[in-house]
Amino acid sequence: MIALTSPLLWYTARASGIVSLLLLTAVMALGVMTATRVGGRPMPRFAVAEVHRRIALMTMIFLVLHILTTVLDTYVHIGLLAALIPFTSAYKTVWVAFGSVAFDLLLAVTIASLLKQRISHAAWRAIHWLSYVSFPIAIIHVLMIGTDTRFPWMLLLVAGCVGTLFLAIAWRLWAHPRPDGALTAVPRRKGRPGTTATASTQHAPRGRKIASSGQTRKPR
Ligand code: HEM
């Protein structure tokens, strides 16, 4: 086997791991926002969902870089299969396995999203929920194996990631954001005074719904 090791590989493995963690946090937080249908003036809902998708893709790219540089750096030996199949790495078997499981789960989520049109919504949703499982597993991996976790800045960064996701989930559970808060990116057309052109009438709490048209009339 050819020995290939350099500080550059090691720094890249660590840096790409950290970037992956930051991106993963952003993806998760944006995912929670998408699920609660947040959106509005500064960033409509479709944009939140689009940013969520793009950052998810970037996360996978940085994770692949993290894994490849770790595997290429022969200073410690982790084969490509050992990186992907949990508990097969001779080096730090358990903590590498946490990374592998987190990555494998995210890979399943990514593949399910790519096949979204071909699988049932229930199956896609069930697989998508695996991302909630992968996040804490990734955090344990980072804390237990990372070189930089001996530095306070890294611990602060990890705490910031956990805190961000915790706040997003807590807000989803307790703030009860209105699911109809920003249903669509399509702007409301100006209709006759007192009427809305969209199908949704839920934004006119004091209005009366006209059963046949779905429009709303203001009370006199
Ligand atoms: C969701 C998946 C993963 C995330 C978010 C992640 C993230 C990280 C982070 C942030 C670090 C700490 C870097 C530092 O201390 O500067 C790290 C370290 C490490 N990761 Fe991962 N990782 C993941 C998956 C994997 C996988 C599948 C492997 C298998 C090769 C792996 C191997 C390693 C190794 C060997 C280290 C120690 C590097 C060092 O500090 O010397 N990781 N990872």
Q: In the chain, where are the structural domains located?
A: 7-174, 186-220
Confidence check: pLDDT of 39 > 90: no
What is residue 171's predicted lDDT score, i.e. its pLDDT?
A: 83
Confidence check: pLDDT of 94 > 70: yes
39 lines ligand 1 (CB under 6 A): no
Residues 6+ apart with CB under 8 A from 143: 149, 158
Of 9, 18, 55, 70, the residue with max ligand 1 atoms within 8 A of its CB, to mutate for a pocket test, comes to: 70
What is residue 116's predicted lDDT score, i.e. its pLDDT?
A: 93
Distance 7 CA to ligand 1 centre (A): 16
What six digits make up the tokens of 209?
């719904």
Distance 13 CA to ligand 1 centre (A): 7
What is residue 127's predicted lDDT score, i.e. its pLDDT?
A: 97
Give the DSSP letter string of 19-52. Answer: HHHHHHHHHHHHHHHHHTT---SSS-HHHHHHHH
pLDDT category, 205, cuts 50, 70, 90?
very low
- Range 117-138 average pLDDT: 96
Confidence check: pLDDT of 58 > 90: yes
The pTM (predicted TM-score) of the whole model is 0.81
- Range 11-27 average pLDDT: 97
Q: Mean pLDDT lowest for which of 38-42, 84-88, 158-162, 183-187?
A: 183-187
What is residue 86's predicted lDDT score, i.e. its pLDDT?
A: 97
